[in-house]
Chains A and B, each alone.
Chain A
Amino acid sequence: MKKSYQSLEDNSTHNMKQVIYRKLASNILHLGLILLFAFSTSLTAQEGDPTNGKSLFNTNCASCHKLDNKMTGPALRNVESRLAEEEGLDREWLNSWIRNSAAMIKSGDAYANKIYEEYNQTAMTAFPTLTDQDITDILAYTAQPKAEPVVAEGPAVNGGGGTGGASNNLILGALALLFALLAGALILVNRTLNRFAEEKGVDRPIKEKGTPIWKAFVQNQFLVLVTSIFLLLASAYFVYGYLMQVGVDQGYEPVQPIHYSHRIHAGTNAIDCKYCHSSARVSKHSGIPSLNICMNCHKSIGQVADEVQAEGLNEYGVDYNAEIQKLYKAVGWDVAEQQYTGKTQPVEWIRIHNLPDFAYFNHSQHVSVAGVECQTCHGPVEEMEIMYQHSSLTMGWCINCHRETNVKVQDNEYYTKIHEELSKKYGVDQLTAAQMGGLECGKCHY
C-alpha cells in the first residue's frame, strides 16, 4: 500500500514539474505575444499601415485623386508633410477636411476656400465613416516614396510600317530576286561552258533527235482534247472565283488613325459592345462612338499598365500610351490641367463594314428585336487587335442565316395570331426568319 502511495507521490511530483514547465513555456509565449502586440500597435499608432492605407485609398480616394498627378482633385503624394510645411496645417485640419469639407468651406477656413476655388468649386465627398486610424493609414500610404518606374523592355516603336504582311512581302520579294539571280547565273555558266567546249574542240555528245514532245502531243488528238477541256474548266473556275469576289471586302483591315485594340477593350476588359456602339440598340447604324465615350474611361486611364505596354511594343509594334495621347489631342484634353482646352480635331476613322446602297440593313432590328449576338456577323471581335471584316456580307450569306435562324416568338403577344397561322401553314413549331418573309426581295431592296 505504502509503496503504491509512494509511487503516486512520485508521479504527482513528476506531474507537478511538468505542469510548471508548461506554465512557464506558455507564460513566455504570452509575454512574447503581448510584447509583439504592444510593439505592433505602437507602430501603427505612430506611422499607420500603408498596405491597409492603399486599399482604403483605392476604394475611397482614387476616384478623384492620384498620388503624383492632378485629377479631379490635387495630387496627394506627401500631402500631410506638404500641408504642414507650406500651410502650417496639422492632422486636425486634415481630419475635419476629409470628414466634412463642405462645412469647413462654409466656416470660412482660408485654405479650404482657396483649394475649393482652385479646383473649380468641385465639392469633395464627405467621408464621415473614416476613423482616425483609417486616415492615418491612408496618409502613411501617401507618404511612401515614389516607386521607380519599370522600364519596359522592348524594341523601339517602328514607325507603323512594321506590320506582319509588309515584312512577309519583303521576304518573298527577296527570295524571288534570289531565284532570278540563281537562274541567270546558271544560264551564264551553261553558255560559257558551251563556248569553252566549242573553242577547245571537245565533242559534246549529240542527242539523237526523236520526235519532240510537243509534236507527239499535238499528234495525239485525244490528249489534246482532254487537256483543253481541263484547261477550260480550270480557267472557268478561276474566272468565276475572281468575278464572285468583286465587290466583297471580306478581310478588309484598314489602318485606323488611332490604333484601337478591340482585344483589350472587348476581350480583356469585357466591355459590352453596346457600351460604345450604343446606337446599335436603337438605330439603323451601329454608330462609331463619339470621343466623349472614350473619355468616360480614359479621363482616368491616361496610361496602360507596364505589362500591357511591353506586350504592345513586343507583339504588335504599338505604343499604347502614345495612342491614348492621340485621343487626348483629338478631344482637346489637357492632362496636366485635367481640363478640356476646347481645341478639338475630328478623328477620321475608316469605315470597314459598308453595305452597298441598294441593300437595306437595320442594326436595331437584329440586335434588339432578334437578339443576335454581335459576334454572329462581326466574328471574334474580342480577339482582334486590329478590326477587320470577318464576314463576306454578301446576299447569299444573309439569306443563309435567315434560313437557319429561328425567330424568338415567345412573349410577343402582339403578333401571336400571325405566328400561329404561319406555324400552321409551314407545319413547324419553330419559324425561321425566312418563313416569316425574310427572303422577300422588298424586305431589303427597295
Chain B
Amino acid sequence: MHINMKATLKISVVLVILLSLVACNKSSSRNYQYMPNMYESVGYEAYQEANVQVGDVEIFENNMEARLPAEGTIPRGNFMPYEIEDTNEGYELAKSTLTNPLGPPIDLDSPEVDSTHVDSDLSTIRIDYAKGGPLYSIYCAICHGAKGDGQGKLVQGEKILGVPSYDDVGRAITTGSIYHVIYYGKNTMGSYANQLNEEERWQVVAYVEKLKADLEKK
C-alpha cells in the first residue's frame, strides 16, 4: 500500500514536469535575458512604447515614442519645401512649369563617378538611370509595369485595375506632373513622398520619362 502511494506520487510528478515542458514550448513569448538592463536601452529606441504619465497627463499621445517633427521645422541642408498645392490648379501648374533640377543624365555606356557633390544641392547631382531604375522597380513597377505600360504584377493578377500606360494621350504626363503625382498621389495612387526623398523622386521622374519616350518610340 505504502509503496503504491509512493509510485503514484512519482508518476504524477513526472507527468507534471512533462506537461509544464509542453506548455513552455510556445514561441509567442520572448525568451529570458541574462541582464535586461544591458539589453534594453535607457533612451527611447525607435518604435518603443513610451507610457510616461505626469499626474494624469499622458506625455506621449497613444504611448507612441515616434513623433512628427514640430510644425514649421525643416531638415538641415539645402532643403526647399514643395510649395505647389494638392489641387487641380496645383496639378496644372506643376504640369506646365516644373522642371527637373538634377544635372544632365550620366551616360550609361561610360559612367563617370560623381564624387564632387558634398551637400544636397540637387543641381550638382546628375540624372542617373542606374539610381532611378532600381527605385522604379521597387516602388512603381508593381503596378505600372517594368516598361511603364501599366501591366505590373498586381494588374496582371487583377488586384489593381486601370493603371494607365505612360504614353496615355488623355493624361499626357510631363516632368512636372510626374513629380506632383509622386509627391501627393492622384486618385487611387497614394503619395510616395515618405518612401522617396527629394533627389530620389527626381531620379524616378527622369526614369519614368525615359520609359515614356521608349513607349512612344514603338
Contacts and interface: CB of A to CB of B under 8 A. Distances in A.
B162 A58 contact: yes
A337 interface: no
A187 B7 contact: yes
A442 interface: no
Contacts of A61: 162
Main secondary structure of the interface of B (DSSP, over half): loop
A254 B22 CA distance: 18
B118 interface: no
Interface stretch (A77-85, A206-214, A231-239, A286-294): A286-294
Interface string B5-25: 001100110010011001101
Interface in B105-146: 113, 115, 137-139, 142
A216 interface: no
Contacts of A60: 162, 164
B137 A272 contact: yes
B115 A247 contact: no
Interface stretch (A34-42, A124-132, A140-148, A317-325): A124-132
Contacts of B194: 278, 290, 292-293
B70 interface: no
Nearest to A276: B195
B170 A125 contact: yes
A89 interface: no
Interface string A275-288: 10010001011011
B142 A255 contact: no
Contacts of B161: 58-59, 62-63, 300
A269 B157 contact: yes
B76 interface: no
B31 A63 contact: no
A388 B27 contact: yes
A358 B187 contact: no
B215 interface: no
B15 A59 contact: no
Nearest to A190: B4
B188 A269 contact: no
Contacts of A270: 142, 153
Contacts of B157: 268-269
A151 B62 CA distance: 39
Given A58-B161, A176-B15, A247-B39, A296 B190 contact: yes
A6 to B, nearest CB: 67
B15 to A, nearest CB: 6
A357 interface: yes
Interface in B1-56: 1, 4, 7-8, 11-12, 15, 18-19, 22-23, 25-34, 38-42, 45-47, 49
A123 B185 CA distance: 14
A255 B33 CA distance: 21
Contacts of A411: 113
Interface residues of B, number: 66
A218 interface: no
A172 B138 contact: no
B39 A356 contact: yes
A420 B115 CA distance: 20
A441 B31 CA distance: 25
A418 to B, nearest CB: 15
B159 interface: yes
Contacts of B190: 292-293, 295-296, 299
A252 B160 contact: no
Contacts of B93: none
B98 interface: no
B154 interface: yes
Give 10 closest A-B pairs by Cβ, nearest first.
A63-B162, A62-B161, A62-B162, A296-B190, A356-B39, A278-B195, A357-B41, A72-B187, A126-B170, A272-B138
7 contacts: A187-B4, A248-B31, A278-B194, A278-B195, A282-B197, A295-B190, A414-B115
Interface of B: 1, 4, 7-8, 11-12, 15, 18-19, 22-23, 25-34, 38-42, 45-47, 49, 62, 64, 87-88, 113, 115, 137-139, 142, 150, 153-154, 157-164, 168-171, 185, 187-192, 194-197
